[in-house]
Every structure is written in C-alpha cells, then in structure tokens.
Amino acid sequence: MTAHGGCDPRDSLMIDRLCAGDSDAWSEFIERYRRLIYSAIHRANGRFGAEWDDTVLDELFEEALYKLLRHDGRALRSWKGDCKLETWIYRIVRNVCIDRLRKEGRRREVAEPDGEKGAARSAGTERGRGVDSDLRISLEQAIETALSDREALAVKLIYFEGFTYREVADRMGLSVGAMSGLVFRALAKLRTDGGVARFWDES
C-alpha cells in the first residue's frame, strides 16, 4: 500500500483500490472529482486566455479524466500524498490544457485578473508599448539581484502572473497593508537599480 502521508486517508485508500483495478473505486473517484475537474478546466480557460468553447471544454474534461484513470490510475499512483489529491489532479488538468494550447499552435497567456481594476491597470496592460527585450532582461535581473526573495516573489506574482495584492498577501500570509509595504519597498529598490532606473521617470 502506498504511504500517502499527510493526506486524507480516505483518498489514499481510494487511490490504492483504484490502482488495483477496483471499479468501485473508479466510480467513487469519478463521482467525487468530476465537478472539481470540470470546474478547474473552466478556470484554466480563463487563466490561459484560451477562449475554448463548450465542445473543447468537454474534450479537455474527457482527456483529463482519461489520463487520470488510464493504465489503472498510473497518474494517480505516482501521487505520494505529500500534496493534496486535489492539487495533484489540478496538475493533470493544467498539463492537459497546456498540451491543448500547444497542439493549437498557441502560446499560453496569463489573463489579467477579473474585477474592477480601473483605468490605471487598463493602461498598464496595453501590449507592445515601450518594453523591449533589454528592459525585460534588465528588470528580471534587477528583481532577482536587488530584491529579497519575498519581495521578488511578490513582485513576480503580482506583475508577471497577474495576481492581485490581496491574493498574494493571502498566499504569503500577510495583510494587504503589509503586502503593499513589501512591494513598495521592492519598487523603490528597483527605482534606484542602475539597470532600470531610466524607466522610473516621474516627470
């Protein structure tokens, strides 16, 4: 029996039975996780800016469920229980969606967060304006060398991966106020960093 330490023991038992070919466990797995998988695919559609229609979403669901269960649940058998089972399933869903984008010859994007962001963020997301590869490289270097790990992680999650301050604060165990302070200090460091100071123009 697989160890699956730290996870829900019911999940561990179900996966062991599933990998042994117990079709009751298959049914149990499908019943328990079908909505989770389908919901995650819908969110991936927004996350990747894919704009897949319902037909494609259904196909992705089928592919994800198939990959989870094929070969007596091989993809699930490799789960050791260090993370939550749901997260392991999300990984499979993510990989299926990214594979689909590749097959479509598309590059994955990260959609901007939903919600009311106002003109400032809208203006900030205009593409192709004034950021050349030199600046991109300079910014990444400055983030990784001039900032602490936490500052750099917060900046990248907010500005590279499209999370809100509140979302990153929640993930990193900080208040929004503390997070804005952290990012403020980070941007202040970037302001004085030689590589990117030329872009910090308040005039």
Partner 1 sequence: MKADKCLGGERLLLYAAGELTPEERAEVEEHVVSCAQCRAAAAGFEKLGRALREAGRLGRRDGGRTQSCPEDETLAAYADGSIAADRRPEIEHHLVGCRRCLAEVADLWRLAGPEVEEAPQRSVAAVVERLERESGAAIVRWTERALELVRGFGAELRAVVDGGPALAAATTRATPGAVALRWESGGGTRLEAEVSRERGGALLTGRVTFDGEAATAVSVSMRSSGGRRGPESPDPSGRFGPWPLAPGENTVSLRGIAGGEDLREELLLLLEADEKQGSGDAPAR
Contacting partner 1 within 49-108 (CB under 8 A): 58, 61-62, 65-66, 69-72, 79-80, 82-84, 86-88, 90-91, 93-94, 98, 108
H and E: helices and strands count for the chain: 9, 0
Count of beta carbons in the 10 Å neighbourhood of residue 96? 23
Contact between residue 164 and residue 158 where contact means Cβ atoms under 8 Å apart: yes
Residue with token string 């592919």: 63
Residues in region 167-186 near partner 1 by CB under 8 A: 167, 171, 176-177, 180-181, 183-184
Cα–Cα dist 143/162, whole Å:
16
Distances (CA, A) of 170 to 72, 74, 167, 188: 37, 34, 5, 23
* Residue 85: alpha-carbon gap to chain centroid: 16
Residue 30 interacts with partner 1 (CB under 8 A)? yes
Q: How far is the CB of 144 from partner 1 (least distance, A)?
A: 6
Q: How far is the CB of 15 from partner 1 (least distance, A)?
A: 14
Q: What minimum distance in Å lies between the beta carbon of 32 and partner 1?
A: 10
Least Å distance, CB 117 to partner 1, is 4
Q: Which of residues 10-29 bind partner 1 (CB under 8 A)?
A: 20-24, 26
Q: Which of residues 109-168 bind partner 1 (CB under 8 A)?
A: 109-110, 116-127, 129-131, 133, 135-136, 139-140, 143-144, 149-150, 152-153, 155-167
